[in-house]
Amino acid sequence: MHHNIALITTISVALGLALVLGFIAVRLRLPALVGYMIAGVMIGPATPGFVADMALSQQLAEIGVILLMFGVGLHFSLKDLMAVRRIAIFGALAQIMVATALGASVAHWWGWSLGASVVFGLALSVASTVVLLRGLESRGLLDTLNGRIAVGWLIVEDLVMVFALVVLPALAGWLGGDTPGAEDAGSLLVTVALTLGKVGIFIALMLLAGRRLFPWLLWQVARTGSRELFTLGVIATAMGIAYFSSVIFGVSFALGAFFAGMVLRESALSHRAAEESLPLRDAFAVLFFVSVGMLFDPAMLLEEPVRVLTVVAIIVFGKTLAAFLLVLLFRYPLNTAFTVSASLAQIGEFSFILAALGMSLGLLPEQGQNLIVAGALISIALNPLLFNLIEPAQRWIRGRSKLARAMERSADPLAELPMSTDLRSLTGHALIVGYGKLGTRIGTQLRQTGMSIVVAEIQRERVERLRAEGIPAVCGDASDEDVLIQAHVARARMLIVTVPDMVRTQKMMATAKLLRPEITILVCAESEEMDPILRKEGATAVFVGERELAQNMGDFAVDHLAGHADP
């Protein structure tokens, strides 16, 4: 009996080749994604040898998109986004407009249609979720303020792209695509309004009913104690919501999966859901990037080198420079500007999804999709280099130019304590760097004992809130000595650093010890290995999360057992 094994062959060859090339890419200090996409090029129709089944590959890629966006939803926190809403929302929207204008202008200059230019520009404006999250995580930046701003910025980009995926089919005819569209402005508005209405109903149902129903169902499955049933429940929820949202509401798989993850985040089991679904998400993410590589014709690198370099320049320099300047205009420090702009200096999943939609609607030529994939390959490969250049670039700018420092601090009312601040609270105080959850708890505890505190916080919204509450606060990166001076570190009794950033903490301690040698310094660290280094450089006490948790639990256990000892 002869069986059709096209699916098995496609998955086996794709994963096997991706493993080999991904391994080589990592050994060359490149993201593994580069290897996955090259694997796709090698089994695609544009190169000789084995050619994988394109139709099956595209369906596997759709599953990859669903699981990728489900993972994004699981990690999406509306609270975190609202905490950085000012810079994330306005910054992302401005950067999208700049990048889209650059891409669309170049495409128009090449003689492309209006629709092709718009789709091409949008595809160049949105960064890869996978590349950004993995880049930040590998450098320990994901849970820092800079990381939260970058992730919040990316979420806004993703939401804009989701909106574009919803609206593009309705506008395709008007933009010159093959899909019949509205002939007049009134019909066009009705079509767009109906599309947005269906999406709005779906979002409302997910936020009002879904956030109660699906976490409850997950709890019922978890109570069975079966790990495989729990994993199945998570994946079935992601796939089911994505599919039925598309069938019933006409919503993209990506948006449906994103909201599936978002509502499951409301459950206390969200971390377990993320952990259990991770292996399957990773496997299908690999297949997604392989399928993207299959669409690329490497001959374009030789036939159209100028266009490829133009696309790379827009991604790596154009939108990166726009993001860098926007962050500085919001008066955030150089470190934040460099981190956010480097994080966004690539394109990925949504770019490919937009390109595929543009081609299906007859808007984007095949050459446009090839250019987008080429730009993604090269920009993803260059991304680690940009991260490695952050520190040298900061030193170079700070040493040779006062412009950036002036942009982030000049005439900034939050960069200095108000003149009305009680001077008695600025002597013998505790200077707290970072006022997130940890800093807030420490500050509350100290104030309850009657001790005055001053806060150095990089997030402007928090500084404004603290000042409204009557707490002295300075906005800026505390690794910059000017920020610590403004927070009166020379008169402080204690410096408490709640940000587990080794390099920045070392700079803060050096400045504090120089200005007040006898100051007590408490710092938190990510690992045990950092403890002796930080103590040697002046830390009075170093706190590591897992160690402190274990110590407290151990102390409680000992005390509890001692109190119930047998007579």
Q: Rounded distance, CA 499 to CA 435, Å?
A: 9
CATH topology of domain 6-397: Na+/H+ antiporter like fold (1.20.1530)
pLDDT tens digits, residue range 234-277?
888 888 888 887 787 777 677 778 778 877 776 667 677 777 77
What is the third-level CATH fold of 413-563?
Rossmann fold (3.40.50)
| Cα dihedral 244→248→252→256 (10° resolution) | -50
What is the full DSSP assignment across 389-452?
THHHHHHHHHHH-SHHHHHHHTT-GGGS--TTS-GGGGSS-EEEE--SHHHHHHHHHHHHTT--
Helix residue spans in 469-544 (DSSP H): 481-486, 502-515, 530-536
Q: For residues 102-123, give the mean pLDDT.
A: 92
> Distance (Å, rounded) from C-alpha 322 to C-alpha 99?
8
**The overall pTM is greater than 0.75:** no
* pLDDT: which is higher, 126 or 274: 126
Cβ contacts of residue 519 below 8 Å, gap of 6+? 489, 492, 493, 494, 495, 512, 513
Q: Which helix (H) or strand (E) holds 17?
A: helix 6-27
Alpha-carbon span 495 to 112, nearest angstrom: 59
Residue of 31, 32, 51, 28 whose CA lies nearest to 41: 51
The predicted structure's pLDDT at residue 210: 76
Give the number of other Cβ atoms within 10 Å of residue 139's Cβ.
17
pLDDT tens digit string along 324-353?
989 888 877 777 888 889 888 988 778 888
- Domain extent listing, the chain: 6-397, 413-563
Enter the tokens of residue 562.
Answer: 């001692």
- Cross-strand pairs, 507: none
List all residues 6 or more positions away from 260 whose beta carbon is below 8 Å from its beta carbon: 70, 73, 214, 237, 238, 240, 241, 242
Q: Which two tokens stand for residue 336?
A: 């934040």
Across 118-135, average pLDDT? 84
Positive or negative, the CA dihedral 528, 501, 84, 454 is positive
pLDDT in tens, 135-193: 777 676 766 777 778 878 887 887 788 778 777 877 777 776 665 554 455 666 776 67
Would you put residue 422 in left (φ > 0), alpha (ψ -120 to 50) or beta?
A: beta
pLDDT in tens, 29-86: 777 878 888 898 898 888 888 888 888 887 887 888 788 778 777 766 666 667 677 8
pLDDT score at 95 = 92
- Distance in angstroms (rounded) separating the CA atoms of residues 445 and 109: 62
Helix pair 270-294, 6-27: axis angle to 10 deg: 100
Do residues 448 and 479 make contact, with C-beta atoms less than 8 angstroms apart? no
Q: Are strands 473-475 and 453-457 parallel, antiparallel or unpaired?
A: parallel
289: amino acid identity, one letter: F
Residues in the chain: 567
> What's the chain's average pLDDT?
81
Token output for 146:
């800079």
Position 275, amino acid: E
Task: Write down the pLDDT at residue 389.
Answer: 82
Residue 108: half-sphere exposure toward Cβ, Cα within 13 Å: 10
pLDDT digits (tens, 9 = 90+) for 393-443: 777 776 665 655 555 554 556 667 776 677 777 888 999 998 888 888 999
* CA 280 – CA 264 distance, rounded (Å): 17
Confidence of residue 24 (pLDDT cuts 50, 70, 90): very high
